[in-house]
Structure 1
Amino acid sequence: MKIGIGLPNQVRNVRPAVIPEWARRSEEAGFSSLGTVGRIAYPGVMDTVALAASAGATATIGLISNVLLGPVWPAVMLAKEAAGIDGVSGGRLTLGLGLGGRPDDFVVDGLGPRGTGARLDRDLQTYRSIWRGEAVPGSDNPAVSAGSREVPILFGGATQASFERVARSGEGYIGPSAPASMIAPAFDARAEAVKATVESFTEIGADELIFNPALDDIGEVERLAEIVL
């Protein structure tokens, strides 16, 4: 099982300037991927911005949105953003998508918190149309550079519709951060507790486990690497 590390983009009041250095050190430490948390109405850094900054600061580490709230975005704009990040990174982006459950994250007029599942299903067709280089609706021009690829997509969610979306349109499933009561043992001061967390996810057949940070202290990268890598 691969071990990734989250970017601190949604640590409350994160210092944005730490993100590129966090990404560089994570790559040097040997983590498989950098993950982001998607949230709009929260004092952090947008996941697309954090991924773009990390793409420019690194060369080999994977980039995963864990998860990006697809239906809060106009579909063409998100498709273009994702293609740009993927292109800058040299094809290292995996787009983890979720529906979102907080009404205050839906800030674009006309894109409210209702009907998000059906909207995402429609948006998926738009994403792939844009990534194939087809013209933007209402324009003669494509939105992305020639040679852009279709970005691989993972889906989050805990409903039957989410699982069906994985089977129908995705590369795989991306699980949520577990409730505090379930992961409390991992906050034990003993490194053995973190190692046990890794072992438990290995046993259920997870392909990759990403540890999300609770601090923007750059030293956390090395501390985690010493325990799990």
Structure 2
Amino acid sequence: MKIGIGLPNQVRDVRATVIPAWARTAEEAGFSSLGTVGRIAYPGIIDTVALAASAGATSTIGLVSTVMLAPVWPAPLLAKELASLQAVSGGRLTVGIGVGGRSDDFVVEGHGPKGLGKRMNAALEDYKALWSGQPVGGGDNPGVPGGSIDVPMLFGGFAPAAMERMAKWGIGYIGGSVPAPVIAPLFDNARAAWKQAGREGQPRLAVIAYYSITDPDKGRANAYDYYSVAGEDFAKSVAGNVATTDAQLRELVKSFEEIGADELIIHPVTDELDDVARLADIVL
């Protein structure tokens, strides 16, 4: 199982200038990927900018959104941004996407929090059209350089529709910030959807978790703050599952290895740069 690390892009009031240094340190430490989590209505750094800054600061480490709330963007604009990120990173981007559900994130007129499933399905068609080099905007010009650009997609979510989109459009599934016993049946559902769709091989299975070493109390408080919009019970659950010790982190890795995860991306809940090397010493 590969081990990636998240960027602190959605830590409340993150010191934004730490992100390039975080990315460089993570690459030097040997992590497989740099991940982002994303909200609009929160005082952090948007996924696309955090990933672009990281692409410029590194040369080999993977880049992945875990997950990006795709329907908050007009589809052609997000497709263009993602294709641009893929181009400038030299093909290191994998996009994890979900429909979202927090109403305050939907700030673009005409792109509100209703009809998300239908809008996501239409957006996927738009993404593939732009990435394949088809003309955009009613003219003759394609939206990407070089003819076409491939942007692999992971899909998150719990509903059957998320699994169906994954099997049709994606390379795999990404699980949210819950323990391995909760993720295991979702991985099974992803494998079943993949097989039912007639796809060859197996879907890539990724998952995220959270950690805080230097300041565990602050980390748990930040995790609760970020997820409080989803309700107190869920926020308490996520905060309670933040790994803060060597033993907890090693058990975290073991638990996801045992259910067949291909990659675990461990996100920070503080912007303490020292925690990059400290995590590497424990899990790599």
Q: Which residue of 2 aligns with 1:65?
A: 65
Shift of 1:54: 0.5
CA deviation vs aligned residue, 1:6-55 (integer Å, no higher than 9, x gap)? 00000000011100010000000000000000100000000000000001
**Aligned counterparts, 1:87-166, within 5 A:** 87-166=87-166
Report % sequence identity: 61
Q: Secondary structure at the match of 1:5?
A: strand
Q: Which residue of 2 aligns with 1:227?
A: 282
Q: Within 2, Cα distance between the matches of 1:88 and 1:196?
A: 36
Structure 1's unaligned 5+ residue stretches are none
Gap change, CA 1:159 and 1:21, over 3 Å in 2: same
Please say which of residues 142-151 and 167-176 is displaced more in the overlay: 142-151
**Aligned counterparts, 1:68-83, within 5 A:** 68-83=68-83
Q: Within 2, Cα distance between the matches of 1:146 and 1:194?
A: 43
Alignment-mate amino acid for residue 247 of structure 2: E
Alignment-mate amino acid for residue 104 of structure 1: D
Gap change, CA 1:185 and 1:131, over 3 Å in 2: closer
Aligned partners of 1:185 and 1:193 also within 8 Å: no
Q: Which residue of 2 aligns with 1:48?
A: 48
Gap change, CA 1:182 and 1:214, over 3 Å in 2: closer
Q: Secondary structure at the match of 2:280?
A: helix
Aligned partners of 1:83 and 1:149 also within 8 Å: yes
Alignment-mate amino acid for residue 167 of structure 2: A
Alignment-mate amino acid for residue 142 of structure 1: P
Gap change, CA 1:188 and 1:38, over 3 Å in 2: closer
Q: Within 1, Cα distance between the matches of 2:146 and 2:264?
A: 33
Structure 2's unaligned 5+ residue stretches are 179-233
Q: Which residue of 1 aligns with 2:262?
A: 207
CA deviation vs aligned residue, 1:121-142 (integer Å, no higher than 9, x gap)? 1111110110111110322211
Q: Secondary structure at the match of 1:63?
A: strand
Q: Which residue of 1 aligns with 2:273?
A: 218
Aligned partners of 1:75 and 1:123 also within 8 Å: yes
Q: Could you tell me which of 218, 237, 248 is aligned with 1:181? A: 237
Aligned residues: 228
Gap change, CA 1:186 and 1:15, over 3 Å in 2: closer
Q: Within 2, Cα distance between the matches of 1:161 and 1:80?
A: 25
Q: Within 1, Cα distance between the matches of 2:139 and 2:115?
A: 27
Q: Within 1, Cα distance between the matches of 2:147 and 2:11?
A: 35
Q: Within 2, Cα distance between the matches of 1:78 and 1:172?
A: 20
Q: Secondary structure at the match of 1:67?
A: strand
Shift of 1:182: 6.7
Q: CA RMSD in A?
A: 1.3
Gap change, CA 1:181 and 1:126, over 3 Å in 2: same
Gap change, CA 1:132 and 1:185, over 3 Å in 2: closer
CA deviation vs aligned residue, 1:190-227 (integer Å, no higher than 9, x gap)? x1111011000000000100011011111010010010
Aligned partners of 2:9 and 2:45 also within 8 Å: yes
Q: Secondary structure at the match of 2:268?
A: coil
Aligned partners of 1:5 and 1:26 also within 8 Å: yes
| TM-score with structure 2 setting the length | 0.78
Please say which of residues 169-178 and 138-147 is displaced more in the overlay: 138-147
Alignment-mate amino acid for residue 212 of structure 1: H
Aligned partners of 1:186 and 1:197 also within 8 Å: no
Aligned partners of 1:87 and 1:148 also within 8 Å: no
Gap change, CA 1:43 and 1:183, over 3 Å in 2: closer
